[in-house]
């Protein structure tokens, strides 16, 4: 397959329309697509004859020129290829299904976010053909066979269970029909955000609309663009404030937006719903004097970057070492106790929530806890999750937003989670004397099947003791166990 490059025009140009589509025969000198610059219309012709295989730059895209815009086969190549193919034994029926791979143990279904090839394209083993989104990342999927991609049955945005076909390889479309392959609608079959650019040949008709007044709701170009950017479903809007109900960009303020659940959102939804429905949660809350921990971390901060959350993590690591029940999980009729103090840190990311893990926190100094937490959180925000699923206990902190206290849902298969509130200014009473200071409220959510109230109270009391006297046990440069 050969790459077709656009001419090197002097100023950025926009592809106005493609006159050829994948599978079309190209005659030398025939117009491939039209492009516009600020003041000129350019017709771009094919320098060689052949077959257009794939369009790489879609219509309405602006670029600087001298860029690969399509892939093609030369006519000569094509005939040669079909000769060699004819010699090769055709697999039974001539149809090979392309399956949704299982990219990870927990993966049950995958969503196709992007097709890198179009129907009719010839693909090679090892060539990336589509991208899927799992609950953790976007993964590029390579072809496992050579062949002609006769039909895509799961469109972009569509989901399908693993090991189910997403497309079929075949020399002839009729073979796929005979194979019984039918396109499946994306996810549930309803409210599919209609693909903007169809491969329908009418999409290439002249650009003057025949009836601009009639038909459905009119939408201004600015509104359409804004809706695309913000995921606003324009079907939710009956009409806008423009003439004849024209929807303007100003009408989108306050419009409901409808977005499909991302893989991450789905994973969060199912894990937490499962947790709340199967684990008998109970909650224990304690307010402690945050002054000493504040003073301690500020003192340490002179030597290395560290936060109050790192002090809380260190204290939890120590308490987790003391109380094995908090490192345990229930599996059928057994309680499995983990020797390692792996602490999950809840991190909000753009699409939701992830829990990177600080492995063996019990063996780390405060400086190491601070540095490692920073690193795993940064990595998580970039989409790389460390130690996923290995935590025995999770810490979630909303204190930076001024939240006083909250109760969290246990992240299975863990037995408990600690929700940390803000170190806020408050009145402290000690020995009948009132003074101003800072307090912090922590809430422990526990799995009652593994942990009882007494144990939870002990854990919190120990945590309070440690946080109120950090200098007694916490030596920044030393492991404290």
Partner 1 sequence: MSDHFDLVIIGAGPGGYVAALHGAQLGGKVALIEKSHLGGACLNYGCIPSKALLASAELMHQLRSSGDLGVEVFGEVKADWEKIQSRKDRIIAGQRSGLNSLLLGRKVSVLKGVASLNGPGKIQLRCEDGSMREILAAYVIVAVGSSPARVPGWPADADRVCTSDEALHWRTLPRKLLVVGGGVIGCELACAFHPLGVQVTIVEMLPRLLPQMDGQISTTLEKIFAARGIRCLPGTRIETMQLTDRGVVATLSGGETVESDRVLVATGRRPATDNLGLESAGLALDRGFLRVNYKMETPVARHYCIGDANGRCLLAHAASAQGTVAAENALGHARTMEGPVPSCVYTFPEIGSVGMTTEEARAVGVPFFAGTFPLRFLGKSQAAGHAEGFVKVLKHRETGQLLGVHMLGHNATECIAVAGAMLHQQVSVEEVAGVIFAHPTMSEGIKEACEDALHAAIHAPPRKIQRMAATV
Note whether 363 binds partner 1 by CB under 8 A: no
Asked if 342 and 373 touch (Cβ cutoff 8 Å), the reply is no
Position among 222, 236, 269, 336 found at the interface with partner 1 (CB under 8 A)? 222
Note whether 37 binds partner 1 by CB under 8 A: yes
Q: What's the CA gap between 192 and 184, in Å, rounded?
A: 11
Angle between helix 308-322 and helix 453-468 axes, rounded to 10 deg: 130
Note whether 197 binds partner 1 by CB under 8 A: no
Report how many residues bind partner 1 under the rule CB under 8 A: 51
Q: What's the CA gap between 415 and 164, in Å, rounded?
A: 36
Note whether 217 binds partner 1 by CB under 8 A: no
Position among 92, 105, 198, 207 found at the interface with partner 1 (CB under 8 A)? 207
**Nearest residue to 442 (alpha-carbon basis) of 454, 455, 459:** 459
- Per-residue x/- track, 239-268, partner 1 (CB under 8 A): ---xx--x-xxx------------------
Asked if 402 and 424 touch (Cβ cutoff 8 Å), the reply is yes
**Rounded to a whole number, what is the distance in angstroms from the first to the last CA of the chain?**
63
Note whether 335 binds partner 1 by CB under 8 A: no
Q: Which two tokens stand for residue 95?
A: 């149809």
Piece of the chain touching partner 1 by CB under 8 A; list 42-50, 303-311, 437-445, 472-480: 42-50
Which one is catalytic: 145, 281, 448, 475? Answer: 448
* Cα-to-chain-centroid distance, residue 204: 34
Active site (annotated) includes residue 281:
no
DSSP string, 147-215: EEEEEE-S-TT-EEETTSEEEEE-SSHHHHHHHT-----SGGGSS----SS---GGGGS-SS-S-SSSS
Query: Which residues, numbered 405-464, are part of the site for partner 1 (CB under 8 A)?
Result: none
CB of 63 to partner 1, least distance (A): 10
Note whether 43 binds partner 1 by CB under 8 A: yes
Q: What's the CA gap between 115 and 108, in Å, rounded?
A: 20
Note whether 467 binds partner 1 by CB under 8 A: no
Indicate the residue among 69 and 358 with the shorter CB distance to partner 1.
69
CB of 448 to partner 1, least distance (A): 53
Catalytic positions, please? Answer: 448
Task: Kindly list the residues in this chain that would bind partner 1 in the complex (CB under 8 A).
Answer: 2-7, 9, 12, 14, 16, 32, 36-48, 60-62, 69-70, 72, 74, 206-209, 211-213, 218, 220-225, 242-243, 246, 248-250
């Amino acid at each position: 397959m050969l790459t077709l490059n656009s001419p090197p025009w002097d100023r950025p140009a926009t592809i106005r329309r493609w006159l050829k589509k994948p599978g079309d025969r190209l005659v030398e000198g025939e117009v491939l697509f039209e492009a516009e610059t600020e003041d000129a219309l350019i017709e771009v012709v094919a320098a060689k004859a052949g077959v257009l295989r794939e369009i790489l730059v879609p219509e309405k895209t602006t670029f600087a020129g001298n860029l690969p815009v399509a892939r093609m086969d030369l006519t000569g190549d094509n005939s040669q290829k079909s000769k060699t193919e004819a010699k090769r034994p055709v697999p039974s029926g001539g149809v090979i299904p392309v399956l949704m791979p299982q990219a990870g143990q927990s993966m049950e279904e995958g969503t196709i976010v992007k097709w890198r090839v179009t129907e009719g394209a010839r693909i090679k083993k090892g060539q990336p053909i589509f991208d899927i989104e799992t609950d953790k990342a976007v993964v590029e999927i390579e072809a496992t066979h050579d062949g002609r991609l006769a039909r895509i049955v799961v469109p972009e945005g569509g989901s399908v269970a693993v090991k189910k076909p997403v497309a079929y390889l075949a020399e002839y479309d009729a073979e796929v029909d005979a194979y019984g392959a039918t396109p499946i609608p994306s996810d549930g079959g309803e409210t599919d955000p209609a693909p903007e650019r169809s491969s329908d040949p009418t999409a290439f008709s002249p650009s003057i609309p025949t009836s601009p007044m009639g038909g459905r709701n009119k939408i201004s170009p600015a509104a359409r663009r804004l809706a695309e950017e913000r995921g606003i479903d324009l079907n939710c809007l009956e009409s806008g404030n423009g003439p004849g109900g024209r929807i303007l960009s100003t009408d989108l303020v306050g419009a409901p937006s409808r977005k499909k659940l991302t893989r991450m959102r789905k994973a969060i939804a199912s894990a937490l719903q499962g947790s709340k429905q199967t684990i008998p949660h109970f909650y224990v809350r304690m307010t402690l004097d945050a002054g000493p921990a504040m003073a301690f971390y500020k003192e340490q901060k002179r030597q290395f970057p560290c936060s109050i959350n790192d002090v809380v993590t260190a204290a939890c690591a120590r308490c987790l070492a003391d109380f094995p029940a908090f490192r345990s999980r229930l599996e059928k009729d057994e309680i499995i106790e983990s020797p390692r103090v792996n602490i999950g840190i809840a991190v909000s990311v753009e699409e939701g929530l992830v829990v990177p893990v600080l492995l063996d926190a019990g063996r780390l100094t405060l400086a190491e806890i601070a540095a490692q937490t920073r690193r795993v959180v940064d990595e998580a925000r970039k989409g790389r999750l460390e130690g996923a699923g290995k935590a025995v206990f999770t810490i979630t902190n909303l204190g930076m937003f001024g939240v006083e206290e909250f109760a969290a849902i246990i992240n299975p298969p863990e037995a408990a989670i600690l929700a940390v509130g803000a170190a806020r200014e408050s009145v402290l009473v000690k020995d009948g004397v009132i003074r101003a200071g800072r307090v912090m409220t922590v809430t422990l959510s526990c799995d009652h099947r593994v942990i009882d109230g007494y144990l939870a109270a002990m854990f919190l009391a120990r945590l309070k003791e440690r946080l109120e006297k950090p200098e007694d046990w916490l030596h920044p440069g030393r492991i404290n166990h």
